[in-house]
Amino acid sequence: MSLFQGIRYFLLADNNKNKTLQLILGFYPKNQLLYEQAFRHKSVANEQVDESIESNERLEFLGDAILGAIIAEYVFIKFPYKDEGFLTKLRSKMVSRSFLNQLAVDIGLDTFIETSPNVNRSNSINGDAFEALIGAIYLDKGYDASKKFVVEKIIKDFIDIKKLIKEESNYKSKLIEWAQSEKLEHQFDTTLIDQTKIKYFKCELKLNNTLITIGEGSSKKKAEQAAAKKFFAQKSHD
């Protein structure tokens, strides 16, 4: 698959790539450089001598947040009578790593991504590039154009909201269903761990000899951090 993708990418002339991208976007990109950056995996950027050639990581950071806002608004408007628990759950399914990875492949983004040849083109590279693309669109065309792209070109054509709502978030059930569909036998072998092999620590945080919080963790350090963190969390809720 990854070799095939690489060949597809290199066979496309620049001119054709731009046309294909325009078709995916539904508009003419103003600042071409932003889109090139969105598709540039860090493995390629690191090879460049020119330090101004950036990878898509910063754009991915921006796009992730913009996409989160667009999807939040979409579910907010679409489901006026649903509470925030429902909205949060649906949104988190729509922006989950595995969902975005698949979406990126569905819209054909994988053919645009540049990686160095020795990189294993894992799925998450696709989802990352999708988020970076949203970042590029935002910087190129603004919030409303990004929203239009996500709603009209992505959600309308590629996302089955009804199916997503029904989708199981109980992983055990999900696995059982999946294994059955793939005709694989599955087994959950669950045992009590041999207790002499576990190390688990408890940290009592005291201020002026008064017990304030208790933290637990699999190392002394983790237990201490947990106790201190709990204290600050309680303080901020006072």
Which residues are catalytically annotated? 64, 131
Measured CA to CA, the distance from residue 115 to residue 119 in angstroms comes to 6
Only one of the segments 6-14, 20-28, 30-38, 229-237 lies at the binding site for a second copy (rule: CB under 8 A); that segment is: 229-237
Contact between 98 and a second copy per CB under 8 A:
yes
Question: Residue 15 or residue 118: which is nearer to a second copy going by CB?
Answer: 118
* Contact (Cβ atoms closer than 8 angstroms) between residue 100 and residue 2: no
Contact between 57 and a second copy per CB under 8 A:
yes
Of residues 186-215, those binding a second copy (CB under 8 A): 186-193, 195-196, 198-209
Question: Residue 7 or residue 233: which is nearer to a second copy going by CB?
Answer: 233
In the complex, what is the shortest distance from the CB of residue 153 to a second copy, in angstroms, rounded to a whole number?
Answer: 19
Measured CA to CA, the distance from residue 113 to residue 115 in angstroms comes to 6
Contact between 68 and a second copy per CB under 8 A:
yes
Measured CA to CA, the distance from residue 223 to residue 230 in angstroms comes to 11
Question: Residue 50 or residue 189: which is nearer to a second copy going by CB?
Answer: 189
Measured CA to CA, the distance from residue 63 to residue 100 in angstroms comes to 12
Q: Note the Cα 2 to chain centre separation in Å.
A: 20
**Cα end-to-end distance, the chain, whole Å:** 55
In the complex, what is the shortest distance from the CB of residue 20 to a second copy, in angstroms, rounded to a whole number?
Answer: 25
Of residues 140-159, those binding a second copy (CB under 8 A): 143-144
Question: Residue 8 or residue 186: which is nearer to a second copy going by CB?
Answer: 186
* Contact (Cβ atoms closer than 8 angstroms) between residue 140 and residue 29: yes
Only one of the segments 19-27, 31-39, 106-114, 178-186 lies at the binding site for a second copy (rule: CB under 8 A); that segment is: 178-186
Residue 93's contacts (CB-CB under 8 Å, 6 or more residues apart) are 99, 164, 167, 169
